[in-house]
Chain A
Amino acid sequence: MLGYLEERFGIPAEALSGCRMVRRGGYVCALRAQCEPLARELQAAAGGLRLVKETGPGRFKPATRGMQVLGRLARRNVIDLDDATLRRLLQGQTVPVAEEGRGFVLLRWDGGIVGVGLLRAGQLVAQIPRTVTEHLRLPGEGPIL
């Protein structure tokens, strides 16, 4: 999994050197190593940061929340968005982009990672879960806040 993040996005494996990888609900999550002794003693209902979803043997889909934290270290397959493009993506539209290639990309806006997108034949669609945007109210015009 660390190899996938490094290969696809250039996120160095060292970024997670202080963490243990744990499986939870189909996701691989990063949990601080110092939590491990407590995790053995206590019944934890949740914990750790979701990094990727396992979609098959050796196949991963990057997770929104994990990429929002780690994505700032990404060196490739990152697409920068202006307000107008981000607005369209968040409304569920498919947007034509100049980038080549296909597969998962990270969506960057105002210096931070918004989430994950899927690129295919010059068309980009956001992969941001509804739970992330359910309370979001985008202004009709003006800067996005």
Chain B
Amino acid sequence: MSRLARVYERYADVVPDFPAFLAAHGAPAPLHVRVNTLKADTGRVRSRLAAAGIPAAEEPWCPGLLRLDAPEGFAPGTTLLHALGHIYVQSASSAVPAVGLAPEPGHRVLDLCAAPGSKTTLLVQQMEDTGCVVANEPNRKRLRSLATNLERMGAGSVLVTAYSGQNFPKRVRFDRVLVDVPCSGEGTWRGPAARPRRIRPDFRDYLVRQQSALLRRAYEVLEPGGELVYSTCTYAPEENEGVVGPFLEETGARVIPLEVAVPAEPGLTVWDGRRFPGDLRLACRLYPHRFDSEGFFVVRVAKP
């Protein structure tokens, strides 16, 4: 049994077509870049890429998100388009939470765990750089990369804060909150360079406590009638349904459909003897053999 199979075998009963799921992890995720519509035009970027011999197909569910058919070794981060802030390198899955949050121009939005800023800058684009996005990141090193990326993308409607997410001030309220929590990252282990590893139970418990606290604070700073999106890049039900389920029961929040047209599997209602609220069927599990990108879990929640 391969290392990958050993690490992922705990999901054999919940992932449909498990052999195809394992096989998909053998190849790297396709390369995507997102056009920064604050600065650049998608047509022009595609023309530039085509002139350099790189065909780019736009994802129909996310305007400006381009799947590149690039030669091996091509690094979009070294191009002038990247230096100018015309493009942002972002996996397709990682765009789903921001697209699913669907902020409107003029909204107040909080991105509670924002670095390095891929989702923040997509939120800014969706809002046409109006309203206000608060991008929060407590880690000093990651904060620098967040600020650099926001500068590069030319965002004028973003405030950067450095609060511990669990302790984000409750004196302010938001129309939308994105809480893309730190996680075990199992969904990113694709391709020959990936190094899958077993997650120790004590580390998983630590993550779950942190994720639960972040989700609760995200909900607390949400306006009544507001919506939040909780996401991870892991398959582990403990970090996904296991965090959101108890939160739903405790708060009375309800899950609403994520309106993003990508092939997703429903959230789990049973795992390892635990039962989760039936609402969680509306959550989205993104698997690489169904949606050729990284593995993700995304759920959209409304505050009554």
State in angstroms the CA–CA spacing of A135 and B134 once bound together.
27
State in angstroms the CA–CA spacing of A42 and B174 once bound together.
13
B48, B82, B132, B172: the one within 8 Å of A32 (CB)? B132
Residue of B nearest to A133 (CB): B83
Contacts of A29 in B (CB 8 A): 156
B80, B132, B150: the one within 8 Å of A34 (CB)? B132
Contacts of A26 in B (CB 8 A): none
Q: How far is the CB of A57 from chain B (nearest CB, A)?
A: 26
Q: Chain A interface residue count: which class?
A: 35 or more
B48, B132, B134, B154: the one within 8 Å of A49 (CB)? B154
A32, A46, A66, A138: the one within 8 Å of B147 (CB)? A46
Q: Are A42 and B84 in contact (CB under 8 A)?
A: no
For residues 145 through 170 of chain B, which have their beta carbon under 8 Å from a beta carbon of chain A?
147-148, 150-152, 154-163, 169
Q: Are A68 and B161 in contact (CB under 8 A)?
A: no
Q: How far is the CB of B76 from chain A (nearest CB, A)?
A: 9
State in angstroms the CA–CA spacing of A114 and B84 once bound together.
7
State in angstroms the CA–CA spacing of A51 and B134 once bound together.
20
Q: How far is the CB of B78 from chain A (nearest CB, A)?
A: 4
A112, A131, A137 — most chain B CB neighbours (10 Å): A112
Contacts of A35 in B (CB 8 A): 132, 157-159
Q: Are B157 and A39 in contact (CB under 8 A)?
A: no
B78, B83, B171: the one within 8 Å of A41 (CB)? B171
Q: How far is the CB of B48 from chain A (nearest CB, A)?
A: 6
Bitwise interface map of A from 99 to 116 toward B, beta carbon under 8 Å scored 1, else 0: 000000000001110100
Q: Are A38 and B134 in contact (CB under 8 A)?
A: yes
Residue of A nearest to B38 (CB): A69
- Report the 4 A-B pairs with minimum CB-CB distance, sorted nearest first: A32-B157, A49-B156, A137-B78, A46-B160
